[in-house]
Amino acid sequence: MRKEQHRKGWNEIKTNDSWAIFKIMGEFVNGFEKMSQIGPCISIFGSARTKPGQKYYELTEKIARKIVESGYGVITGGGPGIMEAGNKGAHLGEGTSVGLNIELPFEQNDNPYIDDDKNLDFDYFFVRKVMFVKYSQGFVVMPGGFGTLDELFEAVTLIQTKKIEKFPIILVGTEFWDGLFDWVKHTLLTEFSNISAKDLDLIHLVDNENEVIEILDNFYKESRLSPNF
């Protein structure tokens, strides 16, 4: 009897997994259709817990405004904190402001600075991450938590393994990132040889909006703007 119950439960799981494919496909189709119309954008990542008035909220707003004034749009995760600051800067600069929202048990809600026709909702993190990587011409990574680190290292890995074309990855806030970058250099590279020295060239550390724009402009003097895979 117990074996029959286990078998029935397992079959129900397999059936649910099969139907989930259609929901996943729908998210990909909707995302690809909308994002392919938007044009060159820079993604901004960072903590949802950063409040208006705090140093990195204000700096993110300045960076986003500079980005749209330089001819790019801005993509964020669509929520509060650094994401809100990025969309706000893009909105105030009268540029493209995209939000890729995801349903979470806490911290996530749409911010009011996303363009009405560029506010996308996702249930699956992996679908959302594909949209960030495919349609971003660069990543600007502000101080954040586990989610920010996840997006940073996934982008570095995809470029390192040549699964996508190289694009600028810019870490903003040396006081925040120096410890991590030192660990990468001394532990991953020097002590254990788990990466190559050239892998460090994928990442830039800066402290202000002008440095961000300089890196983007210098890179795209020699590289064309296009989807990344």
- Residue 15 vs residue 220, higher pLDDT: 220
Residue 229 pLDDT: 61
Classified as helix, coil or strand, 171 is strand
- The domain locations on the chain are 2-220
- Residue 30 vs residue 225, higher pLDDT: 30
pLDDT at 174 over 90: yes
- Residue 33 vs residue 10, higher pLDDT: 33
Per mean pLDDT, which range of 38-52, 95-109, 125-139, 186-200 is the poorest?
95-109
pLDDT at 81 over 80: yes
CA distances from 161 to 44, 48, 127, 158, 198 (A): 23, 29, 20, 5, 12
Mean pLDDT score, 166-172: 97
- Residue 15 vs residue 211, higher pLDDT: 211
pLDDT at 77 over 80: yes
Question: For 48-75, how does the pLDDT look when each residue is reduced to its tens digit (9 = 90+)?
Answer: 999 999 999 999 999 999 999 999 999 9
* Residue whose token pair is 């990468």: 184
Evaluate whether the domain defined by 2-220 bears CATH number 1.10.1060.10: no
Residue 107 pLDDT: 57
Task: Please tell me the pTM assigned to this model.
Answer: 0.91
